[in-house]
Amino acid sequence: MQTAEIRRRFLEHFAERGHTIVPSASLVSPDPSLLFTVAGMVPFIPYLTGREPAPYPRATSVQKCVRTLDIEEVGKTTRHGTFFQMNGNFSFGDYFKEGAIQHAWDLVTGSQEDGKLGFDPDRIWVTVYLDDDEAADAWKRIAGLPEERIQRRGLKDNYWHTGQPGPGGPCSEIYYDRGPEHGPDGGPVVDEDRFLEIWNLVFMQYQLDDVKSKEDFRIVGDLPKKNIDTGMGLERVAYLLQGVDNLYEIDEVVPVLRRGAELAGVTYGRNHEDDVQLRVVADHVRSGLMLIGDGVTPGNEGRGYILRRLLRRAISSMKRLGVDEATLPELLPVSRDAMSPSYPELASDFDRISAVAYAEEEAFRRTLSQGTTLFDNAVRQAKASGTPRLTGEQAFSLHDTYGFPIDVTLEMAAEQGVSVDEPGFRALMQQQRERARADARAKKTGSVDVLAYRRLLSDHGPTDWRAYETLRTDSRVLGVVSDVEEDGESVAGSGEITRVVLDRTPFYAESGGQIADAGVLTWDGGRAEVLDVQRPVKGLVAHQVRVLEGELRAGTELVAEVDREWRLSACQAHSGTHVVHAALRQVLGPQALQSGSYNRPGYLRLDFAWQGALTQQQRHDIEDVANAAVRADHQVTATYMTLPEAQAIGALALFGETYGEQVRVVEIGGPWSRELCGGTHVRGSAQIGTLALTGESSVGSGARRVEAVVGLDGFRYLARERDLVRQLGDLLKTPTDGLVERVSGMLARLRDVDKELAELRAQQTLAVAGTLAQQATDVGGVAVVTGAPDGLGGGDLRTLALDVRGRMGSDRPAVVLLASESGGKVALVAALDPGAVARGLSAGELIKTAAPHVGGRGGGKPDVAQGGGTDPAGIPAALKAGEEAVAAAVGR
């Protein structure tokens, strides 16, 4: 039974029993704590936890999943894979244990003629939790299973929870006996290779707290509603029903394996090492296809890094099998054909998918070519030294210089019988990260030792930070920290720039892409301008200031005040960034996930994952969606909650950011834009004002950047654009709505004029060529033409010289030497026919002789050479020197 058919039967079985069929969610998980959707229940978490009311009482799905924790084991065993599909049925306060068991038994053991799966009921075993008599009794009553085929297991095997406080409950797993050839008898408690788990039924009925591990938690009560969450491994069921031994041999995977074997000229099943490589290829090509299909692009971090690693492992495995040519163009279409019966979008979107994959292979092949020489030299040195081990420095050099991922180095080294100092490599990587962080800090804090700030923090505690609450505070200076004084006791006078730590401040410190506030500090007899605000150590805020009047010292009582207009414009830009991000995801899809941002008053830029430039229509749509949100005046709110709570409501977070137990969730229009954010924002989206996209560009492979202006800057930008259009209209005496047509017509006419001018220049060149050829002089039996036509560049002068040479007769050797001045620069060209070359003359030598006279140099082949200079006054001398060189060479 084909995998797509098993999938169809599963969904239809539950649809017939009142379940809503829910399409698979994207592999890109909305949960910021997850890179990918890793289980079938992930899209249903808000309903299972009660965070959101379920839109249906029963649901069923076949969810795409990716797990990469065991990526190194793929291919080595027959049970590890990265991409898989999880069949599931869900009940949200509707049926419970009996219903779940009845539905599962009917599907698993029902006849294939009736549209079910047709497993032999006598080979079905189940497990239940130790004291779950209700489930055990249901299996006896509904399925007629004997006591010995219902095995009881503990918390580790038959209890489910999220790993955090929340819902949980016992589970019951269904196993299929594959037969004595696969292991000993005795059920799953004896051997889980012979008795293979195919389905897990989770009975979610308790509220858990104090969760320390899978087996260490506290049940605090019953859930208001008892839920069902099940998961059937589609690939496992497929290889059982298809009569093959493992997931690599099912119909959706084995075609790639077979094609890889054909390309490598090997036979699957004859050599374990080859089999491992072929399984890696089959698994990773499919996973790469599915990830790119859901919008993931190769990159150096997060999801992009995982995808890059999968594709490069597949390419490396084919190379180990002896295939040096590009292989993805051969393998990816095979995987598409195998998977598109279940996911037709793979076929319709294959042009985009394949372009991403093939570009990554091309880039990796260049990396391999450049780095392999260094790797081979390092291996030879290691073996010659008697200690076959690559140092951490060598592995780091491969990574840092040639982009070799460490796992590729490890695999290539293992193949050569050489080990790698991986801890040493990791240490060097950590040092590099720390240097980068230190450099970034140094740019913000100068050469001040952070010990000075740590001392202030230890003595006075953290800064009382009031940026969310007010624009003005009464404050006291805790320390003035200069580049040379580190004790916090220095004094700053008028005109000096220094760093000031206050006991409390209303100033926003730069973070999350938002630059710091501007404003002033005022005190009795003094005033300072705030230039920058940073957090040099956690908990402390430092202000870089320029003292305008008076002296500033520790203990000074002052007023700290943020520039109101600056803050408003900064809020507009930061809220505008969230709006643009939401608009991008609405127009392009959830894969257009922010990877970085920067905003200052009136301006924002946002980097996001995307392959290829946006179309003009996409840019218009993004701008329209963003401005519609502005006009709707969505309420902007900021709420504190735990990270799991934020994840449960779908708040977006930037990958790579770290968050504490409490996070700040900023919402614009509720779920329309919901992100983890520590920045300052407007109260309603209408305060953003006009939002205008001003640019879109590439910032690397698989990443794009959009730029925009907001508020008054947005109005001013549009006003400038309007004025420019009006000026062009006045200049061209054309209504503004006809400018495009008018300019297009002018450009077409200019192209026609350029073509006519080129034709005229060609005719003039031909005329000049004839005249020059007729002016040849005899120098020792060699016909020599010299000339200085005006206004020709190097290309046109070369064409003319060749034309003149072609017009010379064959009765004697011919030499042509021409010079021309154009735009203050001199071009030189020498062209000799075969007879002149046979006489020992060289065009390259002639140019080397002539070029110094015009302040330049040149050279070339014996028959044609070219040069140039910057002194047009030397042209006569250059031509004369060339003619004299010919005379000397032929002995006149």
251: Cβ–Cβ under 8 A, 6 or more apart, which residues?
2, 3, 238, 242, 338
Cα–Cα dist 51/347, whole Å: 37
Nearest to 160 by CA among 208, 198, 120: 208
Are 560 and 472 a contacting pair, CB within 8 Å?
A: yes
Cα–Cα dist 808/776, whole Å: 9
Answer yes or no: is 460 a known binding residue. no
| CA atoms lying within 13 Å on the CB side of residue 350 | 16
Instruction: Name the 3-class secondary structure at 373.
Output: helix
DSSP 53: -
DSSP 612: S
Answer yes or no: is 578 a known binding residue. yes
Answer yes or no: is 681 a known binding residue. yes
CB atoms within 10 A of CB 757: 10
Instruction: Name the 3-class secondary structure at 536.
Output: coil
Answer yes or no: is 571 a known binding residue. no
Instruction: Name the 3-class secondary structure at 504.
Output: strand
Are 237 and 193 a contacting pair, CB within 8 Å?
A: no
Are 164 and 212 a contacting pair, CB within 8 Å?
A: no
Burial of 649 (0-12, 13-18, 19+ CB in 10 A): middle
601: Cβ–Cβ under 8 A, 6 or more apart, which residues?
565, 566, 569, 570, 572, 573, 713
Q: Which amino acid is at 30?
A: P
Cα–Cα dist 398/394, whole Å: 6
Token digits of residue 31:
């949960």
Pairing of strands 419-420, 150-153: unpaired
Q: Over the range 193-206, which residues count as b (16 or more CB within 10 Å of their CB) and which as e?
A: ebbbbbbbbbbbbb
Token digits of residue 517:
């506030």
Token digits of residue 798:
């070369």
720: Cβ–Cβ under 8 A, 6 or more apart, which residues?
none
For the chain, the C-alpha Rg in angstroms (whole number) is: 37
- From the annotation, which residues make up the binding site for Zn(2+)? 574, 578, 677, 681
Q: Which residues are annotated as a binding site?
A: 574, 578, 677, 681
